[in-house]
């Protein structure tokens, strides 16, 4: 049976955002197009066509282009919204950032995007994982994210899914510092999503190896080992549910 959990979740976001029919949308960090397909409008994108699994971005976007919504979507590959002249002279009704901010290399990059977006749009629809766990079953996902973020801080470049985890409060602060007013926040249902398992598996497979290769300080490595052991024990107990998420509208 086909898993529709990602599409169902993104429909929750679209329903909350209430973007009017016919709106022109600039989507930053659209990944493999999960949100793009729901929005069915123009999308900006920063990535390499070979990135992604189980389908690469190239295959995923080709599939979307060939579908009934393809004529409504314009993918911009290897296009950096922060680059001078990018999208020059273009305007959009809404900017959308759906679960892309943790891919950014630093807080300064996210701050720069928030500062740049008003050149193109006056409304922003934003969604991301909520870093705060509310149940013990969410702790493995939480730890997997923190561990990957700690290891990523020692890298000079990366293609990882989790690079800089931001909390909801940090996002709100950065928006306010760059002139955005947050109008409303909702907490979508994430219980059917598989991202917790994906991030936990990636953490268990790669994080300690990468930390060792990067030569992180011994005390930090020991702390990472302790956290990985805790994740492994909780996973073996079967007590895993994904973190929650938050979505907001800002002007």
Instruction: Look up the CATH number of the domain holding residue 28.
Output: 3.40.50.150
The yes-or-no verdict on residue 241 having pLDDT over 90 is yes
What integer pLDDT is reported at residue 58 of this predicted model? 46
Q: What span, in angstroms and rounded, lies between the C-alpha atoms of 171 and 146?
A: 17
| Domain with 66 in it | 5-133+160-193+241-250
Angle formed at CA 154 by CA 175 and CA 213, multiple of 5 degrees: 150
The yes-or-no verdict on residue 173 having pLDDT over 70 is yes
Task: Provide the domain count of the chain.
Answer: 1
Q: Residue 228: inside a domain, yes or no?
A: no
Q: Residue 179: inside a domain, yes or no?
A: yes
Pick the range with the lowest mean pLDDT from 3-7, 108-112, 156-160, 167-171.
3-7
- The overall average pLDDT reported for the chain is 84
The yes-or-no verdict on residue 212 having pLDDT over 90 is yes
Global pTM?
0.82
Q: Residue 46: inside a domain, yes or no?
A: yes
| Buried b / exposed e along 166-192 (16+ C-beta atoms within 10 A) | bebebbbebbeebebeeeeeeebebee
Q: Residue 209: inside a domain, yes or no?
A: no
Q: Residue 176: inside a domain, yes or no?
A: yes
Q: Residue 207: inside a domain, yes or no?
A: no
Beta strands across the sheet bearing 124-129: 25-27, 94-98, 124-129, 245-250, 182-186
Q: Residue 67: inside a domain, yes or no?
A: yes
Q: pLDDT per residue over 48-101, tens digit each?
A: 433 344 444 445 445 444 545 444 455 555 566 666 656 666 788 999 999 999
């Amino acid at each position: 049976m086909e898993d529709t959990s990602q599409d169902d979740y993104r429909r929750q976001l679209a329903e909350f955002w209430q973007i009017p029919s016919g709106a022109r949308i600039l989507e930053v960090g659209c990944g493999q197009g999960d949100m793009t397909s729901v929005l069915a409008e123009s999308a900006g994108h920063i990535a390499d066509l070979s990135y992604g699994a189980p389908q690469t971005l190239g295959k995923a976007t080709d599939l979307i282009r060939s579908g009934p919504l393809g004529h409504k979507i314009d993918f911009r590959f290897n296009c950096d919204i922060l680059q001078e002249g990018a999208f020059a002279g273009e305007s959009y009704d809404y900017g959308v950032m759906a679960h892309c901010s943790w891919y950014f290399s630093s807080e300064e990059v996210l701050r720069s995007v928030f500062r740049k977006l008003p050149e193109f749009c006056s409304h922003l629809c934003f969604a991301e994982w909520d870093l705060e766990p509310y149940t013990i079953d969410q702790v493995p996902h939480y730890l997997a994210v923190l561990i990957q973020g700690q290891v990523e801080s020692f890298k000079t470049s990366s293609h990882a899914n989790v690079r800089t985890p931001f909390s909801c409060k940090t996002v709100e602060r950065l928006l306010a510092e760059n002139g955005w007013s947050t109008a409303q926040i909702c907490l979508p249902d994430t219980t059917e999503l598989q991202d917790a398992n994906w991030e936990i598996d990636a953490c268990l497979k790669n994080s300690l190896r990468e930390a060792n290769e990067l030569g992180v300080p011994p005390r930090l490595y020991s702390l990472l080992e302790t956290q990985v052991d805790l994740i492994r024990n909780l996973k073996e107990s079967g007590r895993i549910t994904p973190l929650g998420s938050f979505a907001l509208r800002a002007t």
